[in-house]
Amino acid sequence: MSQYESARAAFADWGVETETAIERLKDIAISVHCWQGDDVVGFEAKSGASGGGIQATGNYPGRARTPDELRADLDFAFSRIPGRHRLNLHAMYMDTDESPDRDAIEYRHFTPWVDWARDSGLGLDFNPTFFAHAKADDNLTLAHPDAGIRDFWIEHGRRTREIAARMGAELGSPCVNNIWVPDGMKDHPIDRMAARQRLQSSLDAILADPQDRANMLDAVESKLFGIGVEAFTVGSHEFYLGYATRRGTLLCLDMGHFHPTENIADKLSSVALSVDEILLHVSRPMRWDSDHVILQSDDILAMAQELVACDLLGRTHIGLDFFDATISRTAAWVIGTRNMQKALLRALLLPMDTLKGAENALDFSRRFMLTEELKDLPYGAVWAEFCARMEVPVGQALIADLDRYQDSVAGRG
């Protein structure tokens, strides 16, 4: 009997069909973020420090310096991640000989990405870039007291929605356009309300034109604090939860954007009662929003378990948001994305009816015994079978591939 056949029998003993779990996992597209490949630098003529409190640390060799290098790295990464997925592109990753400012970007500045995505069978998601720009140096953009600066960023936001809609139409899959702004203050503000009113009306202006939801979906992302905006973030969780609920946008929950002791998995069932769809930025905050590459850690397993237990997979867009320049960037993409998939597989392999039955009967002894014994089941054999069917390597063969690719890019200047 093969390892998979014996694992299949072990799960069947608990009433779980491994074939069903594998089929469901195949259908879950992860939105892989472009910015892990180049340390959040982007390809604008004048790219500099990321700003907005975002900073990749490390100088591991092999950073992608051009769109072609980034696409080559992504081709490799996607070839080692089982399944069909999406690329999450920030506006500052335009691919053009022109140098449009943020308020002048157009669809044509991104067509090489769309052509590549189409050829690769990938979906695209998009983000306006409200940081790494002189007009964001005050750490205020859409909430800036200066109407001229607000108008500049409103125009940027409007254009990204048009570009996202066209990307979605071209690829036949709705493009999620996620708005995150760094706006805040280093020290205690006097007039929080005025800043939040400005952010609200700027967002309203950006979202004023209706777009076909078959082509694009709007999302808004909150944050607790960032470097340089320790005292006050205009777009807090409460601000965006209310905004998304009122305006019918997706709510983005970034796992690094809350207090480190908060359980982000616990928030899913709460916000799902108020918003139709959720966007996740799966990340690993190490004491703060450090954006470490995700592990198969309790937080990630809990997030996946909630998505399955609450039946939220159909209305949750799973995006990743981590970056680490101290390790191979392609290895970070591949291992991080596979960790998300492994967490989902583990959740899909749980005998959910049995677990819920124990809980509903208030039989907490049974729930406790079940959850702990289930941890010993052979999840690895099911994962290996899934990878074999999707023609991607596991274990030492994967590590050899990751090493080989890293060696091939290490000479980049």
Query: Hey, which residues are catalytic here?
Result: 180, 221, 223, 254, 257, 281, 289, 291, 321
What DSSP state is assigned to residue 294? P
Question: In terms of CB distance, is 153 or 383 closer to ligand L2XQQQDX?
Answer: 153
291 is known to lie in a ligand binding site: yes
Binding mask of the shown chain, residues 255 to 294, with x at each position contacting ligand L2XQQQDX by CB under 6 A:
--------------------------x-------x-----
Q: State how far the Cα of 118 lies from the Cα of 254, in Å rounded to an integer.
A: 28
Interface with ligand L2XQQQDX, residue 324, by CB under 6 A: no
From residue 114, alpha-carbon distances to 33, 163, 166 in Å are 15, 11, 10
Length of the chain in residues, anyone?
A: 413
User: 3-class DSSP state for residue 124?
Assistant: strand
Interface with Mn ion, residue 125, by CB under 5 A: no
Do 271 and 241 contact (CB within 8 A), yes or no?
yes
198 makes contact, choosing from Mn ion, ligand L2XQQQDX, none, with CB < 5 to 8 Å by partner type, with none
Q: State how far the Cα of 9 lies from the Cα of 352, in Å rounded to an integer.
A: 18
Question: In terms of CB distance, is 53 or 378 closer to ligand L2XQQQDX?
Answer: 53
Interface with Mn ion, residue 38, by CB under 5 A: no
Of the candidates 36, 33, 34, 123, the residue with the CA atom closest to the CA atom of residue 85: 123
13 is known to lie in a ligand binding site: no
Burial 250-278 (b: 16+ CB within 10 A, else e): bbbbbbbbbeeeeebbebbeebbeebebb
Question: In terms of CB distance, is 183 or 321 closer to ligand L2XQQQDX?
Answer: 321
What DSSP state is assigned to residue 93? G
364: tokens are 């907490």
Question: In terms of CB distance, is 83 or 235 closer to Mn ion?
Answer: 235
Which member of 218, 277, 289, 321 binds Mn ion (CB under 5 A)?
321
User: 3-class DSSP state for residue 320?
Assistant: strand
Question: Which residues form the interface with ligand L2XQQQDX (CB under 6 A)?
Answer: 35, 40, 54, 127, 180, 221, 223, 254, 281, 289, 321
Residue numbering of the annotated binding site for Mn(2+): 257, 289, 291
Question: Which residues form the interface with Mn ion (CB under 5 A)?
Answer: 254, 281, 321
